[in-house]
């Protein structure tokens, strides 16, 4: 019997094929060694050579005063501000993910709010036995792995902090964002040279691979590994036998209770969830809303650019955004479809045959707690909403959905007890109250920024001091002035 296919199914297939063609990376057009005919500085074919160059850079920085080092950072900030638009556009074009205006804002945030040498402070302890000095020293050459989701942002943010601490750096960036990441490596080197630094201070690979990452991880000159990425790569560096900082995956829950300002909460949540199309690891990923305010919240979200889909449409979308993969043990598991990560909401809706305008920036749907959209870190502007009866249920489910990542969680409430209870229970590195998620990294919230949030290894919102080692100098029975 011949199978029949409906017109809407044909439309869906055509739309998916077109999307794939449009979003497929143009492998041949991305040259990670040059930009606009200009050869990028600090890019190597061989990881061992890259490490050697970063070592030379480290020795040059070691010989500089802190004041000179700060001059390098000032110039990195200036160039980042100047070229934020170029990197934002390049990032979206190369990866097919995110939004140019938001990526530009992320670069400006890095330029403004990543701490420099002022973060490196010494401590002195005096007593009957004299003076002890504790200083924050560089490690030497840092090996850094960076993600595709915030590629140049992470390279520049890491570079500022690592250079402020006096280190050289070698990057093994995500292969899907290599042109963008290497543009940022070149920018840092150009800035350093202009400000009187060495020719090359930070290095990267023309073609980073798992093999080049493995060489980096086992090379004796690499004294510290800093990894920003998903669970697989963080696990790999943490088992390297070296000192490692791991900034891993999140799945941030948001609780909205019935004391919240619902209109503000709806706007804050949609603003945060859709920032760079949900690529930031801190962005809102699932909502637990009190049953008595859920309708009002959903309707306010719709007024703020969200499109509500039915359970059937959510099921159809689920089949597209998550795909099954058999692991090496023969176990079938669902993983996110890379072709959907960081895509615009209207592009994702078109995949299930729903046509909306570009004003729609988020897809919302009501789901049970067990739904894949709640359980998986999608990194797309898709926001599932689970109704809960009370704060006990909200906290229990919110903590479960965070999966013990201890990364980020959010809450909208005016009840101090509820806010405190969730903050204590979820134990995340970042907890944002009554604001969009990005307030947690200094965008509209107090405090410095980072794109490497190290929950697993405990450094938290990393900054220059995270990339130092403590050294102590003791003068016994002397050097006191009282």
Q: Which residues bind ligand NAD (CB under 6 A)?
A: 145, 147-150, 173-175, 210, 213, 228-230, 232-233, 236, 247-250, 281, 377, 451-453
Least separation in angstroms between CB 194 and ligand NAD: 28
Separation of alpha carbons 252 and 352, rounded Å: 26
Least distance to ligand NAD, CB of residue 393, Å: 26
Cα 421-423-429 angle, rounded to 5 deg: 165
Cα–Cα distance, 78 to 74 (Å, whole number): 6
Report the residue number, 226 or 262, with the smaller CB distance to ligand NAD: 226
Minimum distance from residue 106 beta carbon to ligand NAD (Å): 11
Reading across the β-sheet that carries 382-388, which strands appear in turn? 306-308, 362-366, 382-388, 286-290, 253-256, 408-412, 430-433
Nearer to ligand NAD, 148 or 468 (CB): 148
Query: Under a CB-based contact definition with an 8 Å cutoff, are residues 265 and 433 in contact?
Result: no
CB nearer ligand NAD, residue 115 or residue 250: 250
Smallest separation, CB 361 to ligand NAD (Å):
20
We find the least distance from the C-beta atom of residue 215 to ligand NAD, in angstroms, to be: 10
> Would you say 15 or 95 has its CB closer to ligand NAD?
95
Closer to ligand NAD by CB, 33 or 126: give it.
Answer: 33
Residue among 57 and 250 whose Cβ is closer to ligand NAD: 250
Q: Which helix (H) or strand (E) holds 93?
A: helix 66-95
Report the nearest approach of ligand NAD to the CB of residue 147 (Å): 3
Please say whether the beta carbons of 225 and 245 come within 8 A. Answer: yes
Query: Which ranges in 117-230 belong to alpha helices (H)?
Result: 151-164, 178-194, 210-218
Tokens matching residue 110 = 């890095």
Closest residue by Cα to residue 294 from 387, 157, 215, 169: 387
Query: What distance in Å separates the CA atoms of residue 180 and residue 152, rounded to the nearest whole number?
Result: 6
Find, among 88, 242, 236, 222, the residue nearest to 153 by Cα.
Answer: 88
Tokens 């400006």, located at residue: 108
- Identify which of residues 266 and 449 has a Cβ nearer to ligand NAD in the complex: 449
Residue showing tokens 């919110």:
398
Nearer to ligand NAD, 5 or 210 (CB): 210
We find the least distance from the C-beta atom of residue 151 to ligand NAD, in angstroms, to be: 8
* Gap between the Cα atoms of 273 and 361, Å rounded: 9
* Residues forming beta bridges with residue 134, ordered by sequence position: 123, 472
Give me the least distance between CB of 57 and ligand NAD, in Å please. Answer: 21
Comparison of 62 and 104: residue with beta carbon closer to ligand NAD = 104
Short-list 171, 163, 169, CA closest to 195: 163
How many whole angstroms separate alpha carbon 142 and alpha carbon 223?
6
Supply the minimum distance, in Å, between the C-beta of residue 154 and ligand NAD.
7
Q: Provide the 3-class DSSP secondary structure of residue 3.
A: coil
């Amino acid at each position: 019997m011949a199978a029949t296919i409906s017109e809407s199914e044909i439309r869906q297939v055509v739309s998916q094929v077109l999307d794939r063609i449009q979003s497929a990376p143009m492998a041949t057009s991305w040259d990670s060694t040059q930009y606009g005919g200009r050869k990028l500085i600090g890019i190597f074919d061989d990881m061992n050579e890259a490490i050697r160059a970063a070592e030379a850079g480290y020795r040059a920085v070691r010989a500089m005063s802190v004041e000179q080092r700060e001059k390098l950072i000032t110039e990195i900030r200036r160039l980042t501000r100047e070229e934020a638009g170029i990197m934002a556009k390049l990032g979206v074009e190369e990866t097919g993910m995110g939004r140019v205006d938001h990526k530009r804002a992320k670069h400006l945030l890095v330029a403004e709010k990543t701490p420099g040498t002022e973060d490196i402070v010494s401590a002195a302890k005096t007593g009957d036995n004299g003076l002890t000095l504790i200083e924050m020293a560089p490690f030497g050459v840092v090996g850094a792995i960076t993600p595709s989701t915030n590629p140049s942002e992470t390279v520049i943010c890491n570079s500022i902090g690592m250079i402020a601490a006096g280190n050289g750096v070698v990057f093994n960036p995500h292969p899907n964002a290599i042109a963008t990441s290497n543009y940022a490596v070149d920018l840092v080197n150009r800035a350093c040279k202009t400000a009187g630094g060495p020719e090359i201070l930070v290095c990267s690979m023309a073609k980073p691979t798992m093999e080049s990452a493995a060489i980096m991880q086992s090379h004796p000159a690499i004294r510290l590994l800093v990894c920003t990425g998903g669970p697989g790569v963080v696990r790999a560096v943490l088992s390297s036998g070296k000192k490692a900082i791991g900034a891993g995956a999140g799945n941030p829950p948001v609780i909205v209770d019935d004391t919240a300002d619902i209109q503000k909460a709806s706007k804050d949540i949609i603003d945060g969830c859709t920032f760079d199309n949900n690529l930031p690891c801190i962005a809102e990923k699932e909502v637990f809303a009190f049953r008595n305010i859920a309708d009002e919240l959903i309707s306010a979200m719709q007024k703020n650019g969200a499109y509500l889909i039915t359970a059937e449409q959510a099921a159809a979308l689920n089949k597209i955004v998550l795909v099954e993969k058999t692991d090496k043990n023969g176990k079938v598991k669902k993983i996110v479809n890379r072709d959907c990560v960081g895509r615009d909401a209207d592009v994702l809706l078109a995949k299930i045959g729903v046509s909306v305008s570009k004003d729609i920036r988020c897809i919302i749907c009501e789901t049970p707690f067990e739904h894949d959209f709640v359980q998986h870190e999608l990194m797309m502007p898709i926001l599932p909403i689970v109704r809960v009866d009370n704060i006990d249920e909200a906290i229990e489910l919110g903590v479960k959905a965070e999966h013990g990542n201890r990364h980020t969680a959010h809450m909208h409430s005016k009840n101090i007890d509820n806010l405190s209870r969730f903050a204590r229970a979820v134990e995340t590195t970042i907890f944002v109250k009554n604001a969009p998620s990005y307030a947690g990294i200094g965008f509209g919230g107090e405090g410095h920024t980072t794109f490497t949030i190290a929950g697993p290894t405990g450094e938290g919102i990393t900054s220059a001091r995270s990339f130092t080692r403590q050294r102590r100098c003791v003068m016994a029975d002397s050097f006191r002035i009282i």
